[in-house]
Amino acid sequence: MRRFYVNPFEAGGRWFKGNVHTHSSGSDGTRTPEQLVSMYLGAGYDFLSITDHSVVTDVGGVDGRGLLLIPGEELCVGRSHAGTHYHLVGVGIQETLPFRDFDYGTDPQRVVDEINGLGGVSVLAHPYWSGLSHNDAMAVDALCGVEIYNTSCDYERNTGLSASHVDGLIAAGRRPLIFAVDDHHGADRPTMPVDACGAWIMVRAPSLDEPDILAAIRGGLFYSSTGPQIRGIAVDGEGVIHVECSPARTVSFISTPSLGMKFHAGGRPLTSASYPGRPGEKYVRIEVTDFEGRSAWSNPIYNE
Ligand SMILES: [Zn+2]
Ligand SMILES: [Zn+2]
């Protein structure tokens, strides 16, 4: 068996931390782009994509003070089996998408094709929160990725984790990249923390230039996290997958339905795990969870 994995841990360059789903006062966010810059810089981020609803907010005149600002947009279209919209995010597009927001009549495929055609990264946002089944998600082809975790949906509704949607898609033959994002809006409520700086991607790229970051994201050279670090992933000559990570309660190798394996910490935290795989698996993805319940997610490793 041959495994196929675009391995960020074997790529040159440096690590850059970023969030690719954020709202500003350009739509329904409470913070201006300048305020977002201060908040994300303060939390050690390297880049941020402002993805306002139905408009590409112009970030050209905003002083990032070292934070790379990437333009983007979120659009809500189509109709799921539950009667809800698909929310689609385009990261790295320069112009507002030519569709009406909240239009049941617009095929989400047209939006994905438009984002891809503009050179953007197309991501299906928060499928669990949206009420999509993975069959709804299967109706859209050529998606670059899917949000496996969304801070805002988690904090507000406890529907931030879309792992089963991701695995349903992959088990059915799609190859999405896996994103953890904030979807920051900033509604400051006494009952919930601010939905910022809670989830991110760690991208391996040669530089913090926008083309390098977008190419690395599009190529899958990243992992996602809400806390833990993945410090290394390697596939040896026998096809055994080795992972190293910050101290963890569990390390899971999630795979084709009914296969895969979960490792639990014994007397001391896990900082590594190795998994040889099992017959019949089509893919394996790694999920590391720490003692606070925070997780990190690799992109999938495919068997070929
Ligand atoms: Zn949304
Ligand atoms: Zn959003």
Q: Kindly state the tokens that stand for 21.
A: 């789903």
Question: Which residues make up the CATH 2.60.40 domain(s) of the chain?
Answer: 230-303
Q: Considering every ligand atom shown, identify the ligand nearest to the alpha carbon of residue 20 and give its number.
A: 2
**Residue 78 CB neighbour total at 10 angstroms:** 23
Q: Out of 3.40.50, 2.60.40, 1.10.10, 2.160.20, which CATH number does the structure's domain 230-303 have?
A: 2.60.40
State the pLDDT at residue 232.
98
Ligand 1 centroid–CA 150 distance in Å is: 9
3-state secondary structure 150-176: EHHHHHHHCCCECHHHHHHHHHCCCCC
Mean pLDDT for 265-285 is 96
| Centroid of ligand 1 to alpha carbon of 88 (angstroms) | 7
| Six-digit token string for 117 | 């055609």
Q: What is the pTM of this model?
A: 0.97
For 70, residues 6+ apart whose C-beta sits below 8 A from its C-beta are 20, 47, 48, 49, 50, 59, 91, 92, 210, 213, 214
Count of CA atoms in the C-beta half-sphere (13 A) of 176? 28
Q: What pLDDT band is residue 22 in, cutting at 50, 70 and 90?
A: very high
Q: List the one residue out of 147, 135, 218 whose CA is nearest residue 173.
A: 135
Ligand 1 center to 62 CA (angstroms):
24
If you average pLDDT over residues 51-58, what whole number do you get? 97
> By the 8 A CB rule, do 182 and 196 touch?
yes
Residue 39 has pLDDT above 80, yes or no: yes
pLDDT per residue as tens digits for the range 221-269: 999 999 999 999 999 999 999 999 999 999 999 999 999 999 999 989 9
Cβ within 8 Å of residue 11, ≥6 positions away: 204, 216, 221
Indicate if the pLDDT at residue 12 is higher than 90: yes
Q: Say how many Å lie between the CA of residue 158 and the centre of ligand 1.
A: 14
> Boundaries of CATH 3.20.20.140 in the chain?
3-223
CA 239 to chain centre: 26
Using a CB cutoff of 5 Å, list residues around ligand 1, an ion: 87, 125
- Ligand 1 center–CA 74 separation, angstroms: 7
Q: CATH number of the domain at 3-223, out of 3.90.245.10, 3.20.20.140, 3.40.50.150, 3.40.50.970? A: 3.20.20.140
Ligand 2 mean position, distance from CA 146 (Å): 13
Q: Tokens at residue 150, please?
A: 């969304």
Q: Whose structure tokens read 């190859």?
A: 175
Q: Which ligand has an atom closest to residue 124 CA?
A: 1
- pLDDT for 129 equals 98
CA of 125 to the centre of ligand 1 (A): 6
